[in-house]
Amino acid sequence: MPAVEPFTLRTDPGALEDLRARLRATRWPDAPDGLEDAGWALGTDLDYLRELVAYWADEFDWEAQEAALGKLPHYRARLGDGLGIHFVHAKAASASASGAGLPLVLGHGWPDSFWRYTKVIPLLTDPGAHGGDPADAFDVIVPDMPGYGYSDKPVGPPLNSIDVAGLWAELMTALGYPRFGAAGGDIGSHVSRYLALDHAERVIAVHRMDAGLPIYTGDPADLTPEERAWLDSGVKWGGAEGAYAAMHRTKPQTAAFGLTDSPAGLAAWIVEKLRSWSDCDGDIERSYTKDEILTNLTIYWLTGTIGSSMRMYSANGAIPVAQHARRVEVPSGFSLFPGDLLQPPRAWLDRIANVARATHPPRGGHFAPFEEPELYVEELRAFFRPFRHFRTAAV
């Protein structure tokens, strides 16, 4: 059984001095001739990034942010072949009439880490203190995926979502949870899917914020018109917005040199996605404060994980097509937020999963747990409520 040990976030002051020196020495690109007012049309806006980098260098208080993050209960465990995995494990504040909190493992994606769920952890563990029903309490487990955040980088080939699902099943065993719920978005949605596929006897129900990019190898004539349009939208999205993913999937190490060396370059690569994938109508600071953005970026910078995080795309790109065709029979829920990347039709959801609940919340995007924490928490509470009694069933 893997040993679970407390973990403390602690930054070497020299690392912060180096970061600030690099930020102040940024070599800035020019704006394209004749397109000085291009804004975000060709990528990250030059003026916005200058402002953000100046704040990062001279005003951002990482020590305060690290102290705030450190109030969460952090742990590490060695899983698989000894890979050190960092996770937050926050237990329900009090037992409800039906027993302890429902164990729930939350999966993040790229470009983030456990950061994605920091706002929702107290709402999920202590609903009674936040206007909810104490009976809806969860025991929340939020791991950093291998090569992300404070988890170790895989030695050898990068791990794919199937591999990580196996690690999460091992982690839940180590924590004493024979049965549990799973939820996630982005790559965390894929990991949650494979938990439900490969560990169905343990997963009570699975909640996802997306259906992934559409992959279908059958006869298109067998699809509904809405599903065919969904497939077409995926192709169009890939042509207009998918260049980052193609780089991650095919040549992640090339991009990793610049992004690991330049904090301004790292900011440009990530901030553009935070803005374009969020429900902020083009104004990124409608969804995140500068401090919130820079907390995410500083975790990436201090841990040096931008390269290892991107390499997971390469591993996932090699997953056999037959794996994508498997249908999830575990009860599944989908909350499709309006600002997210793609909006699958209900027919597609029913094709890929045993859908118990599918909703379209009024606000929020790809990072809904951070953008709209109250809405996201309500989605989880409502979806998992009918399945809570299954947690005590024998595996």
Element (H, E) at 180: strand 180-184
* CA–CA separation, 119 and 209 (whole Å): 17
Q: Output the pLDDT for position 391.
A: 65
186 to 143, 313, 342: CA distances (angstroms) = 14, 11, 11
Q: Output the pLDDT for position 36.
A: 59
Residue 359 in contact with residue 379, Cβ under 8 Å?
Answer: yes
Among 103, 253, 243, CA closest to 169: 103
Q: Output the pLDDT for position 191.
A: 98
No. of H helices and E strands in the chain? 16, 9
Active-site choice (89, 139, 366, 376)? 366
Active site residue 186: yes
Q: Which residues, listed in sequence order, are joined to residue 83 by a DSSP beta bridge?
A: 79
Q: Output the pLDDT for position 162.
A: 98
Active-site choice (186, 210, 279, 340)? 186
Instruction: Report cis status (omega within 30 of 0) of the bond before 32.
Output: no
Active site residue 366: yes
Active-site choice (75, 177, 313, 376)? 313
User: What string of pLDDT tens digits covers the 395 residues of the chain?
Assistant: 789 999 999 999 999 999 999 999 999 998 876 665 678 989 999 999 999 999 999 999 999 999 999 999 999 999 999 999 999 999 999 754 445 799 999 999 999 999 999 999 999 999 999 999 999 999 999 999 999 999 999 999 999 999 999 999 999 999 999 999 999 999 999 999 999 999 999 999 999 999 998 888 889 999 999 999 999 999 999 999 999 999 999 999 999 999 999 999 999 999 999 999 999 999 999 999 999 999 999 999 999 999 999 999 999 999 999 999 999 999 999 999 999 999 999 999 999 999 999 999 999 999 999 999 999 999 999 999 999 977 655 55
Rg over alpha carbons for the chain, rounded to the nearest Å, is: 21
* CA–CA separation, 337 and 379 (whole Å): 11
Q: Output the pLDDT for position 68.
A: 98
- Give pairs for 128-132: CB < 8 Å, separation 24+: 128/93, 128/94, 129/93, 132/377, 132/381
| Model confidence, pTM | 0.95
Domains annotated for the chain, with CATH where assigned, are 4-29+40-392 (3.40.50.1820)
Burial of 64 (C-beta count, 10 Å sphere; 0-12/13-18/19+): exposed
Task: Give the three-class secondary structure for 71.
Answer: coil
| Structure tokens belonging to residue 94 | 């009090």
